[in-house]
Structure formats: structure tokens, C-alpha cells
């Protein structure tokens, strides 16, 4: 660690809690990608002198930890990789309203209109394919028909937050979604336990496409020399925002406000772009590895997504992912 700051990664659940007395330290819970939060926290501490305790996990794990700590809260700031998670905390009155003073224009319609959470960055969900796969289906329905000769995989929506957000958004917008996925399963669609396993299948040639692929992970592979590309169906890519919010019982509200504001400053926004995420500000250029943003987006209203998410994921697990579905003849 460099002199001048201290970055402590919290890894234990059973740490003694000092209560909600005011604190000079800042406790931040953050979803990935790995390395991004550490870089931003370190720079924030170097600039402000405010020491940061950082805990990183998936969005689902962060929500579980926040629930376990409901009556012994620790976190001041939380950064999710899913708007539905932030909307859930807002609905429980667990977020503090704060509108950061951004030095540049923010993306329209990415943040809570009431000011309780703000999209620091975002990713798009589409289909990842080998770079030499020239002919590809044009729509989600065509992909889910699993054309002859294509071997497709998908990260488990119960393990991948991005795949889960894709499934919810697609199902809200397409009433026949479950029937489409049922047929895709019958025609050979497989499920990987996580994004990394799906990407490995693609790199090894065991699959021709990843449905529900989160783009920044694929652009990272492309930057490292893997011959892959992202495809966004004509009926819309799914936008997955990364909302940042202050907890209503934050022990260091002033530090939390400075941290949220810092996330929209030049350094943090450029760091997000370097990680191949779409920056939350329109005046920060995306990574040169990224493709142009697709014209059409598939989104679900956060309140609707929050209301339907559990039933959609549960139905998908029972009916599609874990069901014994006979393969069609010749598949």
C-alpha cells in the first residue's frame, strides 16, 4: 500500500460493530468489477484524507449482508450492479436523499428521479460471439429459437446479476418470454454457473454464443486479445446501471456525500470508462474498445421489476433452468 492512505478490505461477517456513532471513517459496500472500487477508494482517500473500509461482493451478497446488518448497520455508502437492488432499499426507506454536484452532465433517465440513488456507470447485456461468426440472428426471438448449428449458453440468472436483470427486463417487455426460453432449452440452450464459465466455454469453442452476456466483461477479453465481439439484437440491449447511494443511517453522512460526489468526478468516471463500463456522465468518452451504443434499449421500470423479480426468477428456475426438458429430435 502507498503511504498516505489506508484501504481496508472487510472480509468477515462477524466483526464487532461500534454502533451508529458518528465516524471519521467511511464504510463502502461495492459490487465489481474487481479493481475499480479499490482504485477509486484509494484515490478518494489520497485526495480527502478520509479512510475507507471497503467490502466487495456480488449485488446479491451485498443485499444479504445489508439485511443481516439491518439492526447493527455498518455501511455508509453502497454501490450496486443492479437498479432493482437500489429500488428495493428505497422502497424500505433505507436510503438518504442526496443529489451530487457533478462537474459534467449526467445520463438522462439513469438515476432515481427522487434523488435517492444515481447511476455512476452502466453496462449493456447482449450476446457474445466469436469474432469470425459472421451470420447471426437479428432479434432476441431468433436467438432463442436456437438456429441449427448454434451452440448457446447463458449465465445462470440466479448467479449472475446481469443475466438476472436481462431476464427480468426481457420478460417484462415480452409476454411470451418463458415460452421462448422453454423452446430454447429444448433446442440445446445450456446454463453456466457464472459469467466466467460461460466466457470460458466461448473461448474454448464449446459454445457459439453467450445469451445474456454483460458487455464490459467481453470487452475486457477483447482488450486482452481474445477474438470475440458483442452483438446487440435489434429489439434492444438491456441496460444494467450501477447505482450508488447513501444509507439512511450512515455514521459518516458528510464523508458519504463527498464520496458519492467523487464518483461523478473526472477521475472516477474515467476509471469506469477504462473498465469498459459506460460512464455515468455524457462528457466522458467510453473505452475505445467498446462498440457504438445500440439505438434500442430494453428496460423495465424499477418498481415493476422490483415487484416481479422474485416470481420471474423463481418461475425460470423451476420451469426452465432446473427442469428436465426433452431435447427436440436432432438436437
Which residues of the chain does CATH 3.40.190.10 include? 7-122+240-279, 124-238+293-321
Of 169, 139, 128, the residue nearest 299 (C-alpha): 169
CATH of domain 7-122+240-279: 3.40.190.10
HSE-up of residue 274 (Cα within 13 Å, Cβ side):
12
Residue 219 grid coordinates: 470487452
- Given a contact cutoff of 8 angstroms between Cβ atoms, the answer to whether 231 and 291 are in contact is no
pLDDT at 3: 38
pLDDT at 217: 96
Rounded to the nearest 10 degrees, how much is the dihedral formed by the CA atoms of 265, 274, 162, 29? -50
Residue 84 grid coordinates: 432493482
Residuewise pLDDT in 10s, the chain (331 residues) = 433 333 333 333 333 344 457 778 999 999 988 899 999 999 999 999 999 999 999 898 999 999 999 999 999 999 999 999 999 999 999 999 999 999 999 998 999 999 999 999 999 999 999 999 989 999 999 999 999 999 999 999 988 888 999 999 999 999 999 999 999 999 999 999 889 999 999 999 999 999 999 999 999 999 999 999 999 999 999 999 999 999 999 999 999 999 999 999 999 999 999 999 999 999 999 999 999 999 999 999 999 999 999 999 999 999 999 999 999 876 6
b/e burial code for range 185-204 (CB count within 10 A of at least 16 → b): bebebebbeebebbbebbee
Instruction: Name beta bridge partners: 210.
Output: 128, 153
| Cα–Cα distance list, 33 to 57, 58, 79, 214, 301 (Å) | 10, 9, 11, 11, 25
Residue 315 to residue 109: CA distance in whole angstroms: 29
pLDDT at 5: 32
CATH superfamily entry for domain 124-238+293-321: Periplasmic binding protein-like II (3.40.190.10)
The answer to whether the peptide bond before residue 52 is cis (omega within 30 degrees of 0) is no
Instruction: Name beta bridge partners: 240.
Output: 123
According to DSSP, residue 303 is labeled: H
Of 125, 150, 132, 130, the residue nearest 204 (C-alpha): 130
> What's the pLDDT tens digit per position in 236-282?
999 999 999 999 999 999 999 999 999 999 999 999 999 999 999 99
Residue with cell string 435517492: 116
Of 297, 309, 307, the residue nearest 60 (C-alpha): 309
Task: State pTM to two decimals.
Answer: 0.89
Residue 101 to residue 176: CA distance in whole angstroms: 43
Amino acid at each position: 500500500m502507498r503511504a498516505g492512505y489506508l484501504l481496508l478490505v472487510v472480509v468477515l461477517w462477524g466483526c464487532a460493530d461500534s454502533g451508529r456513532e458518528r465516524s471519521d471513517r467511511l464504510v463502502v459496500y461495492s459490487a465489481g468489477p474487481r479493481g475499480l472500487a479499490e482504485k477509486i477508494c484509494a484515490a478518494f482517500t489520497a485526495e480527502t484524507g478520509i479512510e475507507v473500509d471497503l467490502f466487495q461482493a456480488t449485488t446479491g451478497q451485498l443485499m444479504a449482508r445489508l439485511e443481516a446488518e439491518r439492526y447493527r448497520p455498518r455501511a455508509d455508502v453502497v454501490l450496486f450492479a443492479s437498479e432493482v437492488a437500489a429500488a428495493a432499499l428505497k422502497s424500505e426507506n433505507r436510503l438518504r436523499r442526496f443529489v451530487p454536484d457533478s462537474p459534467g452532465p449526467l445520463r438522462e433517465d439513469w438515476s432515481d428521479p427522487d434523488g435517492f440513488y444515481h447511476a455512476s456507470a452502466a453496462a449493456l447485456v447482449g450476446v457474445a460471439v466469436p469474432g469470425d461468426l459472421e451470420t447471426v440472428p437479428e432479434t432476441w426471438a431468433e436467438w432463442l429459437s436456437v438456429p441449427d448449428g448454434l451452440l448457446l449458453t447463458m449465465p445462470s440468472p440466479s448467479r449472475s446479476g446481469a443475466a438476472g436483470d436481462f431476464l427480468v427486463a426481457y420478460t417484462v417487455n415480452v409476454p411470451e418470454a418463458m415460452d421462448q426460453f422453454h423452446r430454447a432449452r429444448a433446442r440445446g440452450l445450456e446454463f453456466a454457473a457464472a459469467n466466467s464459465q460461460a466466457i470460458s466455454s466461448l473461448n474454448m469453442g464449446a459454445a457459439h454464443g453467450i445469451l445474456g452476456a454483460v458487455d464490459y466483461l467481453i470487452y475486457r477479453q477483447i482488450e486482452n486479445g481474445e477474438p470475440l465481439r458483442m452483438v446487440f439484437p435489434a429489439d434492444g440491449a438491456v441496460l444494467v446501471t450501477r447505482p450508488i447511494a447513501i444509507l439512511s443511517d450512515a455514521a459518516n453522512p458528510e464523508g458519504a456525500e463527498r464520496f458519492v460526489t467523487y464518483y461523478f468526478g473526472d477521475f472516477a468516471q474515467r476509471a469506469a470508462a477504462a473498465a469498459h463500463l459506460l460512464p455515468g456522465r455524457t462528457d466522458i468518452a467510453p473505452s475505445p474498445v467498446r462498440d457504438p451504443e445500440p439505438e434500442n434499449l430494453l428496460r423495465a421500470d424499477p418498481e415493476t421489476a422490483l415487484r416481479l423479480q422474485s416470481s420471474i426468477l423463481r418461475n425460470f428456475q423451476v420451469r426452465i433452468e432446473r427442469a428436465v426438458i426433452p431435447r427436440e429430435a436432432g438436437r
